[in-house]
């Protein structure tokens, strides 16, 4: 039998990343039979249930398919949001109370020396929504600009290692954008079909932008999927440094802006997979043998980890390198989420090293 090694590997990499099982999306799964009874409900921003599930309707391959075009959706449409939240984050939504505690970054574990070459880079981000505004699809040019202006004002307080510059997306050349995307600093250019269907790219690229510190370790995205994504990133595996910088950045920005916070659901975001802490802590890690064994996906699932490709969500792995992060974002504190991601990565690396 002639085996095309390259094709086989590419297939296994795709399998390892496959979140779409050919089954229905969570939005489909939890739409009740008497859905017509609550079709007439709307939020104060005029959002209806149909707006929330638009991405699922247009994309049968959605894994979740649900978005909140404004913060009220989480309480206005509990019939759909609550079961989806329970299912994705594996929490009892009725007794749920959001936990918010950054803890002490120095208490995070270190990766063992023997794994030093396996971890290429580390990144932690949080998603946030500014108080007083709906999410992306319900914004207009003025309100999107107001969000940008409030954020740009807050960047004045970023000093020392966080000191940097803000760039309007529309003022960057295509080459500059491409370079920033390739080097993992910038969001992709309006090419997520799920987000597109949900209305996330209205008036793109107007009033979108990126703040980057001069050291290229601290980034803030404005008006992409969420109003705000605050990101700390660096080469190597020093997750303590990455986390400490993120916490410092968030605290500094919060001196001037107020983010939407809900007693039960924590920080509210456009996608219900991000609510709570809004935190995704990831490493780019070499796991070629585990991927080839076909066990990576299942192992990640059992460790509450999510594998992505090297260029983020819906991208492919390259050279056996994966972006592995915490899958759930609510029910645990920020510290606990980063900590359990580190422990999960250790388990994956133990398995990788045990394979010959
Ligand atoms: P998000 O983290 O906001 O959900 P994506 O999955 O789209 O978004 O990833 C955004 C960018 O961050 C992509 O370029 C991705 O490759 C990059 N990235 C994620 N984790 C890491 C990491 N540990 N090291 C370097 N780049 C990373
Ligand atoms: C989907 O439903 O497939 C997209 N809206 C992406 C869902 C969020 N991704 C994730 O698994 N964290």
User: Is the predicted pLDDT of residue 75 greater than 70, yes or no?
Assistant: yes
pLDDT in tens, 127-173: 999 999 999 999 999 999 999 999 999 999 999 999 999 999 999 99
- Report whether residue 89 contacts ligand 1, using a CB cutoff of 6 Å: no
Question: pLDDT band at 35, cuts 50/70/90?
Answer: confident
Q: Residue 38 gets which letter from DSSP? A: G
Tell me the whole-structure pTM to 2 decimals: 0.93
Question: pLDDT band at 10, cuts 50/70/90?
Answer: low
ipTM, interface predicted TM-score of the complex? 0.98
pLDDT in tens, 282-317: 999 999 999 999 999 999 999 999 999 999 998 888
pLDDT in tens, 78-120: 999 999 999 999 999 999 999 999 999 999 999 999 999 999 9
- Report whether residue 336 contacts ligand 1, using a CB cutoff of 6 Å: no
Beta partners for 218? 232
Q: What does the pLDDT read at residue 310?
A: 94
Tokens of 291: 């991927």
CA of 62 to the centre of ligand 2 (A): 7
Cα–Cα distance for residue pair 59/28, rounded to 1 Å: 11
Cα–Cα distance for residue pair 104/110, rounded to 1 Å: 14
Asked if 125 and 185 touch (Cβ cutoff 8 Å), the reply is no
Q: Which atom of ligand 1 is nearest to the CA of 181?
A: 14
Cα–Cα distance for residue pair 186/166, rounded to 1 Å: 12
Alpha helices in the chain (DSSP H): 5-17, 26-30, 49-52, 54-58, 73-76, 78-89, 141-154, 174-182, 193-197, 239-253, 288-293, 296-302, 334-354
Task: Using alpha carbons, select from 292, 286, 312, 35 the residue that is nearest to residue 194.
Answer: 312
Summary mean pLDDT of the chain: 94
pLDDT in tens, 50-74: 999 999 999 999 999 999 999 999 9
Q: What does the pLDDT read at residue 1?
A: 46
Percent of the chain scored above 70 by pLDDT? 94
What phi, psi does 38 have (nearest 5°)? -115, 15
Q: What does the pLDDT read at residue 94?
A: 96
User: Is the predicted pLDDT of residue 215 greater than 90, yes or no?
Assistant: yes
Strands across the sheet with 119-128, in order? 164-168, 209-213, 218-222, 228-235, 119-128, 279-286, 321-326, 305-308
Cα–Cα distance for residue pair 202/36, rounded to 1 Å: 28
User: Is the predicted pLDDT of residue 193 greater than 50, yes or no?
Assistant: yes
- Report whether residue 283 contacts ligand 1, using a CB cutoff of 6 Å: yes
Walk me through the domains of the chain, giving residue ranges and CATH numbers. 24-89 (1.10.135.10), 105-354 (3.30.590.10)
Among candidate residues 177, 208, 229, 245, the one labeled active-site is: 229
Q: Residue 183 gets which letter from DSSP? A: T
Q: What does the pLDDT read at residue 39?
A: 85
User: Is the predicted pLDDT of residue 325 greater than 50, yes or no?
Assistant: yes
């Amino acid at each position: 039998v002639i085996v095309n090694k390259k094709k086989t590997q590419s297939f296994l990499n795709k399998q390892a990343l496959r979140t779409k099982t050919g089954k229905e999306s969570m939005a489909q799964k939890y739409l009740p039979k008497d859905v017509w009874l609550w079709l007439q409900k709307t939020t104060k921003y005029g959002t209806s249930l149909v707006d929330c599930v638009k991405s699922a309707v247009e994309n049968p391959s959605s894994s979740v398919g649900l978005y909140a075009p404004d913060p009220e959706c989480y309480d206005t449409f509990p019939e759909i949001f609550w079961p989806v939240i329970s299912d994705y984050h594996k929490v009892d939504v009725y007794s749920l109370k959001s936990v918010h505690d950054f803890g002490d970054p120095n208490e995070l574990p270190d990766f063992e020396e023997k794994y030093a070459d396996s971890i290429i880079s580390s990144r932690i981000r949080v998603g946030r929504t500014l108080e007083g505004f709906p999410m992306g699809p319900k914004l207009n040019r003025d309100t999107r600009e107001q969000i940008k202006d409030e954020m740009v004002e807050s960047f004045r307080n970023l000093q020392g290692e966080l000191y940097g510059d803000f760039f309007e997306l529309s003022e960057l050349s295509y080459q500059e954008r491409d370079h920033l995307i390739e080097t993992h600093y910038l969001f992709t250019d309006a090419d997520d079909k799920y987000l597109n269907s949900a209305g996330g790219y209205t008036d793109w690229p107007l009033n979108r932008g990126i703040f980057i510190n001069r050291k290229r370790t601290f980034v803030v995205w404005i008006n992409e999927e969420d109003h705000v994504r605050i990101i700390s990133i660096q080469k190597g595996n020093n997750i303590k440094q990455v986390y400490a910088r993120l916490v410092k950045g968030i605290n500094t920005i919060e001196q001037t802006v107020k983010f939407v916070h809900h007693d039960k659901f924590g920080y509210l975001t456009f996608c219900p997979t991000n609510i709570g802490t809004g935190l995704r802590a990831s490493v780019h890690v070499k796991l070629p043998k585990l991927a080839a064994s076909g066990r990576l996906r299942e192992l990640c699932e059992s460790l509450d980890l999510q594998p992505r490709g090297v260029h983020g969500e819906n991208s492919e792995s390259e050279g056996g390198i994966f972006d592995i992060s915490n899958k759930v974002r609510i029910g645990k504190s920020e510290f606990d989420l980063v900590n359990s991601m580190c422990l999960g990565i250790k388990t994956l690396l133990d398995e990788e090293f045990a394979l010959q």
